[in-house]
Amino acid sequence: MQNFNNFINSICPLSEAAQIALSHKMVQKTYPKNHILVPDLSKCDRLYFIEKGLVRIYYHNQEREITDFFAAENGVFGPIFRSKPIKDFIHSVELLEPSTILSINIFELENLYQAHHDLERLGRLIALHTVFMLQQRIDSLQFASAKERYDDFLENFPTILQRAPLGHIASYLGMNQVTLSRARKQKH
């Protein structure tokens, strides 16, 4: 839980009382590679923090899996991404590596926000960061070339290239593996 404490204090230092209250509500579990942590994110009632490992959020479109999001160490994810399914697209969370995950029930977190305003500020800052990341992703998919998207991915997620299958990365970048291969060759 030390990674988590370092992470939250780097964003917004918490009072000792808030840290203790939060730590009592957090649940830590370790899962194997390829474990489906959340089968349907729209029905999820927990917020997750990755102490160690790599996850992807994905959905099925016809016969293809589309990767929507990656998160590695110090990543936060949960139902903030989807409060209900869009059409018939159910987003799932898969662990791409053996992972140690901390989680907290959303309703318990809301109660902690009421009791500890510094914790509420932390939640707001994490939410703002998430919105900023999602806006960057949308802008990238709409306006950037395949090479620009790949270069941006390398800059923002340098370790994921060695840790995630190329098919998942290509899907995340909105391209097929052939286009990803061309973008990678242009880089070298």
User: Topology of 2-115 in CATH?
Assistant: Jelly Rolls (2.60.120)
> Could you state, in order of their start, the residue ranges of all structural domains in the chain?
2-115
Q: Which amino acid belongs to residue 97?
A: E
Ranges of residues in the chain whose predicted pLDDT is under 50? 81-82
In this predicted model, what pLDDT tens digit does every residue of 131-171 receive, in sequence order? 898 899 899 999 999 999 999 999 989 899 899 999 999 99
16 with 8: CB under 8 angstroms?
A: no
> Which pLDDT score is estimated for 85?
54
State how far the alpha carbon of 86 is from the alpha carbons of 83, 89, 173, in Å.
9, 6, 20
The whole-angstrom separation of Cα 151 and Cα 188 is 11
| CA 15 to each of CA 19, 50, 104, 121, 171: distance values in angstroms, whole numbers, following the listed order | 6, 22, 19, 12, 41
- pLDDT of 7 reads 85
What pLDDT, on the 0 to 100 scale, is given for residue 133? Answer: 87
Q: Are the C-beta atoms of residues 47 and 80 closer than 8 Å to each other? A: yes
Residue 4: the pLDDT is 84
Compute the chain's Rg from CA coordinates. 17
Per-residue b or e along 47-59, where b marks 16 or more CB atoms closer than 10 Å to that residue's CB: bbbbbebbbbbbb
User: At 37, is the secondary structure helix, strand, or coil?
Assistant: strand
Per-residue pLDDT, 90: 83
pTM for the whole structure? 0.87
**Which of 26, 95, 91 has its CA nearest to residue 60?**
91
- State whether residue 89 is helix, strand or coil: strand
